[in-house]
Structure 1
Amino acid sequence: MTPGPRRQSSATWLLLAYLALVVYASLYPFAPWRWPPGLELDGLLVLPWPRFFGPFDVQANLIGYLPLGLLAFAAALRSGRGLRFALLLGLLPWPLLSLLMETLQFFLPGRVPSRSDWLLNSVGAWLGLLLGLLLNRFGGLQRWHDLREYWFQPNSAAALALLALWPLGLLFPTPVPLGVGQWLPRLQEVALAALDGTPWTLMWVDAEAPPQRPLPPGLEAIAIALGLLAPVLLALSVARPGLRRLALVAGALLLGLLGTTLSTALNFGPQHAWAWVTPASWPGLAVGALLASVATPLPRRVSAALGLVALSALIALVTQAPADPYMAQSLQAWEQGRFINLYGLARWIGWVWPFAALAWLLALIGRRTV
């Protein structure tokens, strides 16, 4: 793919999002920070070799940094920066980033810095760069560019990145199927921890308050419908007109089904993969798909305005929904297992995604030309 004029690339936004996820995964749980006992200052300059080293460590560290090299190369090239800059961006920053993350792990008792992790991270990023070179050599990046131009309007890179992240947010169990954005319980936990031992705690805790009840089946179905409708309206706000928009509706429905089923299988076991299907699930999905199909002929600005309404209503409904009573036991398995970082990342994406989509739709509506 030859250099061209500077333009916005969805790979840039995906790179920034993935970079944030890598930092999160590397430094989780972010506490307690302390100077490692018995370690001299010059000891920070040399990463130790690990005592234990298994196949999972090789795969996780190698694959974890591969998207960084690939996305950096694609973002630079598709933004019109040229092949030389794309090669430098794919080669240089990621070994330095890995070295920084491994060094910071000295200060987190729950993390173990490792020279092998740094080497594998670096090789993984370079393999991603090599994959990008191969894709570019055989026209893969140009085909993606042509495909994006066929399906989506210009200046839609951030929205496409949000759409790509949406299924990942579904991997953390939601209070209702497709019900991302339940941030209030976590905010209450943070507030209680900050106010612990002070009289202000009484403002947050009511010992006689009745437990939250599940949403009535009607409201649960509405929340599920909104959970499908919101990402579809985001997609329609950047999609080109025509029957191709119906394919976006079908794609969102398929991704929602797969994401929710995978989440249930990961948390409760493969034999319970379809346990999320309730008497409210299929009506909610059907209503959401029907409303999304009806919205396909709407102009971009109207789709964006309806997306704001759908997202706001979804956040309001899932905030009222209680957590699954079986979730505590399941989350203990996540927190004690190898997939704790994936669990934490999916949880944050599920919390943040609706608000990021709201911000983007507001910005779209505020433009003079759409």
Structure 2
Amino acid sequence: MPKHKTSAWPLSQAYVALIVYASLYPFAGWRDQGIAPWEFLRSPWPKYWTGFDVAANAMGYAPLGFLLALSFLRRGSPRFAPSNRTMAIVVAVVAAAVLSLLMEALQTYLPSRVASNLDFGLNGAGALAGALLAAGLERLGAIDRWSRFRVRWFVEDARGALVLLALWPFALLFPAAVPLGLGQVFERLEGALTEWLMDTPFLEWLPVRDIELQPLVPGAELVCVALGALVPCLLGYSVVRTFGRRAVFAVFTVLIGIGATALSAALSWGPSHAWAWLSLPVRLGLGIGLVLALVLIVMPRRGCAALVLLALMLHLTLLNQAPASAYFAHTLQTWEQGRFIRFHGLAQWLGWVWPYAVLLYVLLRLSAPDRQNRMPA
């Protein structure tokens, strides 16, 4: 079986960043209370806690334990598998516990956060559960089956694309003004730069727009939705091995995008509004995006990567020529006031950054020598 780098390791790093962000948000008001950062370990257990708190703290670290253990198992030698599984569990739990200990200690210096030994214990228990699940799946052969599946479907250096594709549905969880429209940041960046440079001579350096941003017409919205569906399909095509599997991948990807957007709408505005975003331009855009993806299954891998650049540039240009809808901003208040799945705005950041991370990845891929461009039918 060909060797390849595991995607679990970069995914675990991304999840560590998520935990750090969620644990230390809003990163403001740091102060020293005169309490040692490890004092919470000797404090009595909290008197007031809810079932949600217990589940959130345990489940929050379970994916980290799973990914860390899986990373170790995929890197380790197949010999002495039982000792490998034990070591993978130990490494994953210790690493997660150290991270949790550090996060709880730093919360001592944040006025809006409370360090808790209960949270620390639950984080460790969640990491242990995730690591045990990874070891159990490896023992049952599920990891080997995934390895064989990956070898059949994807080229050897597919790790970067697979990580980006795995993050795409989570980027869609924060509701966008245009369905599948990730990366609409121009107006926010312009406002942030203006605020930062206020009362400085550098404010005059900012370009002044001649006209205000105009809302997207239905035709432009249709194009944005079609490109939003096409981009992850083309990204996958750059690492999928055969034409037939590309077709299956395209249909599956579009369905995942629709499901993630519906889940986002249900979480934001209630289950009754889960499909309210499916207007006529959106439905046409999804259909056109899928048809284009199926037509382009015959493109070579480097050609697909180049088309990702073109599609993303057009997509981002159209999106960032439109302002954020005032009605849409108002409806986001429910989301921004507190949904656990948003991780204090991290899902929104992921939605902003994802297209630009894809641009960087594709540029690096195109600049590298192509050793796997031939496509078996």
1:74 matched residue in structure 2: 70
Percent of paired sites with the same residue: 45
Q: After TM superposition, which residue ranges in structure 1, 4 or more long, deviate above 6 angstroms?
A: none
Q: Deviations for 1:251-285, whole angstroms, at most 9, x for unmatched residues?
A: 11101111111111222222222221222111111
Assess, with a 3 A threshold, how the Cα gap between structure 1 residues 205 and 47 changes in structure 2: closer, same or farther.
farther
Partner amino acid, structure 2, of 1:32: G
- Name the aligned partner's letter for residue 267 of structure 2: L
How far off is 1:338 after superposition?
4.5
Q: Deviations over 1:37-64 (max 9, x none)?
A: x535774775663342101101111001
Could you tell me how far 1:205 is from its partner in structure 2? 10
Q: Which segment drifts farther, 284-293 or 325-334?
A: 325-334
Distance 1:17 1:255, change over 3 A: same
Q: Which amino acid aligns with 1:256?
A: G
Q: Is the counterpart of residue 50 in structure 1 residue 42 in structure 2? A: no
Q: Deviations over 1:136-182 (max 9, x none)?
A: 11111111111111111111112111101101111111121101011
Equivalent residue, structure 1, for 2:6 = 9
Match of 2:61 among 49, 59, 65: 65
How far the C-alpha of 1:86 sits from its partner, in A, is 2.5
* Inter-CA distance 87–5: structure 2 relative to 1 (3 Å threshold): farther
CA distance in 1, matches of 2:214, 2:119: 46
Indicate if the aligned counterparts of 1:5 and 1:80 stay in contact, CA closer than 8 A.
no
The corresponding residue for 2:111 is 109
Report which stretch shifted further, 248-257 or 325-334: 325-334
Deviation at 1:124, TM superposition (A): 0.4
Residue 242 of structure 1 aligns with which residue?
A: 243
Give the match for residue 124 of structure 1: 126
Which TM-score applies when normalising by structure 1? 0.91
Distance change >3 Å, CA 181–CA 47, structure 1 → 2: farther
1:287-312 deviations in Å (ceiling 9; x for gaps): 11111001111111111110111111
| Per-residue Cα deviation, 1:190-217 (whole angstroms, up to 9, x for no partner) | 32332244455566698x9865331111
CA contact (8 A) 1:47 1:113 kept: no
CA contact (8 A) 2:37 2:108 kept: no
For the Cα contact (< 8 Å) 2:262–2:275, is it kept in 1? yes
User: Whole-Å Cα distance in 1 between the matches of residues 37 and 27 of structure 2?
Assistant: 21
TM-score, normalised to structure 2, is 0.89
**Which consecutive residues of structure 2, in runs of 5 or more, have no partner in the other structure?**
79-83, 373-377
Distance in 2, matches of 1:266 and 1:113, equals 29
Q: 1:48 to 1:29 in 2, by over 3 A?
A: farther
* Counterparts of 2:344 and 2:358, CA distance in 1: 21
Q: Distance in 2 between matches of 1:124 and 1:249?
A: 34
1:99 maps onto 2:101 in alignment: yes
Deviates more, 1:209-218 or 1:223-232: 209-218
Is 1:345 aligned with 2:346? yes
Task: Quote the Cα distance in structure 2 between the aligned partners of 1:225 and 1:326.
Answer: 23
Is contact 2:178-2:221 (8 Å) kept? Answer: yes
Give the superposition deviation at 1:183: 2.1
For the pair 1:33 / 2:35, whether they are aligned, the reply is no
- 1:181–1:5 distance in 2 versus 1, CA, 3 Å: same
Specify whether residues 188 and 31 from structure 1 end up closer, same or farther in structure 2 by C-alpha distance, changes over 3 A only. Answer: farther
Q: Following the alignment from structure 1 to structure 2, what is the Cα–Cα distance between the partners of residues 253 and 27?
A: 35
What code does the residue aligned with 1:180 have? Answer: L
SS in structure 2 at match of 1:326 = helix
- Report the number of matched residues: 365
CA distance in 2, matches of 1:306, 1:142: 33
Q: Is the 8 A contact 1:49 1:115 kept in 2?
A: yes
Unaligned runs of 5+ in 1: none
Task: Quote the offset at 1:327 in angstroms.
Answer: 3.1
Alignment of 1:255-334 (within 5 A): 255-334=256-335
What amino acid maps onto 2:73 in structure 1? Answer: L
Q: C-alpha distance in 2, partners of 1:122/1:17?
A: 19
Look up the match of 1:135: 137
Residue 218 of structure 1: aligned partner: 219
Asked whether the equivalents of residues 6 and 80 of structure 1 are also in contact (C-alpha less than 8 Å), the reply is no
Q: Larger deviation: 95-104 or 338-347? A: 338-347
CA contact (8 A) 1:264 1:274 kept: yes
Q: Closer, same or farther in 2 for the Cα pair 1:315/1:125, shift >3 Å? A: same
Assess, with a 3 A threshold, how the Cα gap between structure 1 residues 47 and 223 changes in structure 2: closer, same or farther: farther
What is the Cα-based RMSD across aligned positions, in Å? 2.4
The code of the aligned residue for 1:28 comes to: Y
Structure 1, 313-322 or 180-189: larger mean CA deviation: 180-189
